[in-house]
Amino acid sequence: MPTGLIICLDKPHPYLPDQLSKAGYEVRAAYTEPFESLREDLQRATGLILRSRFTLDRAFLDACPNLRFIARMGIGLEHVDVAYAESRGIAVLNSPEGSRDTVAEQTMGMMLGLLNHINKAHQEIQQGIWDRKSNQSFELRHRTVGIIGYGNIGSAVAQRLSGFGCRVIAYDKFKRGFGNHKVEEVSLAQLQREADIVTVHIPYDADNHYFIDEKLLTGFAKPFYLLNTARGLILDTAALVRQLQSGKVLGAALDVLEYEEQAFNVLELSTLPAPFQYLRQAPNVILTPHTAGLSHEVMEAHAKVLVAKIEELPI
């Protein structure tokens, strides 16, 4: 039976500490404690469970000489020095499988919202405007949807799109041979030539900073709709605004912003830069506060995924 101390730096679903305790671990809750008060326990910690409260850089990891694993409740690992952890033999786990359904569902909702002008029509009715003509919809089944990033969430989006009768194409920098009856594997250049709607599902790292930039946006052959439920820093917001103004981007739906802090919060919205102020007023833009992966069910899903992965680690 495994033994050792696991420190939960952020509050998990109860399933996670319950199962790890049953497996033989000592589990300590440290949901609000600062780093300094944790130093002594970090010395003997076997594992860390977190979401986004701390940056696990080299200095933090050096305070954990007995650490065997880091378990991130969620997808992004941008606040963990993964290379240094792995050089120390520390397993770095995350749980993208836990978010796949909730993010895919919100992506579909945003996509349908853009094509059916739901946000715009709702706001107009609130203002006493009944305008049917300018809110005439576009049917999804006649569109080609391009998915950038065909991992857990990208494939879940493709699965849901298969019921709408539209053509689905996907590009993934790292995967090959994933095409099937639901999705056609294509190059990025082909996706730019053929997509009417683009939805982005790639992780953030230094190589992906502003992956969606001016050059990529202007490289699309047709005007298109853009959705980003991945990470804010993947998208150059100012470039998006320019392409919305030019008509190259017909509309956008963003659950993430490049202005977010590590804990997915932002400063007072009125203080954010001009590109955001344009987006918040644009009738063809849908914005949500990084909630695509925040369903009522998702924390239990993350917990179950991580417990399974921790149990698979060599003792």
Block mean pLDDT (10 aa), the chain, length 315:
90 97 96 95 97 95 98 93 97 96 98 97 97 97 98 97 97 96 97 98 94 98 98 97 98 97 85 96 97 96 97 88
Q: What is the pTM of this model?
A: 0.92
Q: Are the folds of 5-94 and 100-287 the same?
A: yes
Assign domain 5-94 one CATH number from 3.90.420.10, 3.40.50.720, 3.20.20.70, 3.90.1170.50: 3.40.50.720
pLDDT given at position 66: 97
Which residue, 28, 23, 25, 26, is CA-closest to 10? 28
pLDDT given at position 265: 87
Domain 100-287 has CATH 3.40.190.10: no
CB of 98 closer than 8 Å to CB of 301: yes
DSSP structure string for 247-309: TSEEEEEES--TT--TTS--S-GGGS-HHHHHHHH-TTEEE-SS-TT--TTHHHHHHHHHHHH
Phi, psi of 312 (to 5 degrees): -85, -10
pLDDT given at position 1: 65
Active site positions, annotated: 231, 260, 290
pLDDT given at position 267: 82
Residue ranges per structural domain of the chain? 5-94, 100-287
pLDDT given at position 261: 84
pLDDT tens for 110-155 read 999 999 999 999 999 999 999 999 999 999 999 999 999 999 999 9
